[in-house]
Amino acid sequence: MEFDFDLFVIGGGSGGVRAARLTSELGFKVGLCEEYRMGGTCVIRGCVPKKLLYYASDFSKSFETSSSFGWNISDLTFNWEKLIKSKDIEISRLEKIYHNNLVKAGVKVFNTRGEVKTKHTVQLNSGETFSARNILIAVGGYPSIPNYDGSQYCISSNEVFDLKVLPERILIIGGGYIACEFASILNGLGTKVLQLYRGRSILRGFDSEVTNHVAQAMMARGIDLQFNKEVKKISKTEAGFLVTISDGTSVTVDLVLSATGRTPATKDLGLEKLGLTLGEVGEVLVNEYSQTAIPSIFAVGDVTNRANLTPVAIREGAAFVRTVFEGKPTEAIHSSIPTAIFTQPEIGTVGLTEDEAKTKGPVEVFVAKFRPMSNVLSGNSEQILMKILVNQESQKVLGVHIAGAGASEMIQLAGVAIQMGARKEDFDNTIAVHPTAAEELVTMKLPSRVS
């Protein structure tokens, strides 16, 4: 059978774009449709703009402590509108690069939504219908806001990047990385932040010693972080939004940001009509090669709800191309993924948590907590936490966790060590770079405890 395309990709995010471009560069005919802006959540309303806002907010701490190092900074002001304008210019530049790279590679791009009609057919909202030997679903996910009295007044992480005015008071609902990152960012920019989470500790799934450390640091920096509480009702008033909390108290804020989770964007894609059963939260179910129960249909990225991170989606897209178009079955690795959480202080983590590591046998836990040199002159009491988890029997390093300035940069190379199967002696035999915070990773000789 003759097909219009060898591959048709639905979704122009990081995973879909990578798969489309690599396939086209191999000489295959590729089409891609995207209903919004090219680049997906990461580029348009996720990692990239978030990091730009993070940089902006981090300056406040630097300005605060600079006097201890001899600087005299007066008349300090911040312009939110200028930051958002600069962010928009950069996002537009990146979006153009994504689009141009696809076109240069020979991909036929359609600026519209697509739906899967048959196992080899995609129909576009423009009315066009194309046949494809293989179809790749890469539509990502979207923020989900629970339904309760007044929940319509909440904004999500989509809208927070385009606020016309920086709020003076904000309530952030949630304890995941999006909620904690925006709590840190807005607090650093001068907003009074109240963060409510229904659980007992933030960042569920990460190492608890690290997350408890960061939670305390966030509160010390001025965030009103409260646990075991939920929002019961939101009312709009002349003074702002009156929020009723589960403990019977209430608070008035200028804005409510709901950051309680994301949902795979599979609605109206036509997958269930083809007989594909979706997962518990609507995710596309795939095997280790990103293939669905219909052999010609594949899915990568957040829509599969495996590891919802941009580099993972890119790796899944590349593995898909190697498997399907190069004939080299390749699995995307979903273990030992280095991850950064841009809270303040930031977190870098790779490998197992302490609780996870204990399931594999006794664990030697190496912990260092110290004030970095940058905090000494200013009298800042905030500490860096570094933690290495080592299997007692094999001496293999199972996890590295860092909370503090520079954690996101340090964890990338720690990820290389973990991926290579490093043992504790490999860390011990590495000469320290002095004076740095990172040197603590190779100077912790004795375990703090055995877990």
Would you call 434 a catalytic residue per the annotation?
yes
The pairing of strands 231-237 and 240-245 is: antiparallel
Segments of 199-320 assigned E as strands: 224-227, 231-237, 240-245, 250-253, 255-258, 262-264, 297-299
Rg of the Cα atoms in the chain = 24
Give yes or no for a contact between 14 and 39, defined as CB atoms under 8 angstroms apart: yes
Report the C-alpha dihedral over residues 317, 319, 322, 323, rounded to 10 degrees. Answer: -110
CA atoms within 13 A on the CB side of 67: 9
Rounded CA separation 283/382 (Å): 40
Rounded CA separation 26/6 (Å): 11
From 208, 229, 207, 225, select the one nearest 216 (Cα to Cα): 225
Task: Enumerate the H helices of 152-279 as residue ranges.
Answer: 177-188, 208-220
Give yes or no for a contact between 338 and 407, defined as CB atoms under 8 angstroms apart: no
Rounded CA separation 412/339 (Å): 8
Q: How many helices (H) and strands (E) does the chain have?
A: 12, 22
The count of other CB atoms within 10 Å of the CB of residue 246 is: 12
* H or E segment to which residue 192 belongs: strand 192-197
Report the C-alpha dihedral over residues 386, 387, 388, 391, rounded to 10 degrees. Answer: 170
Please list the residues that pair with 351 across neighbouring strands.
Answer: 399
* H or E segment to which residue 197 belongs: strand 192-197
The pairing of strands 397-403 and 347-351 is: antiparallel
Catalytic positions are 434
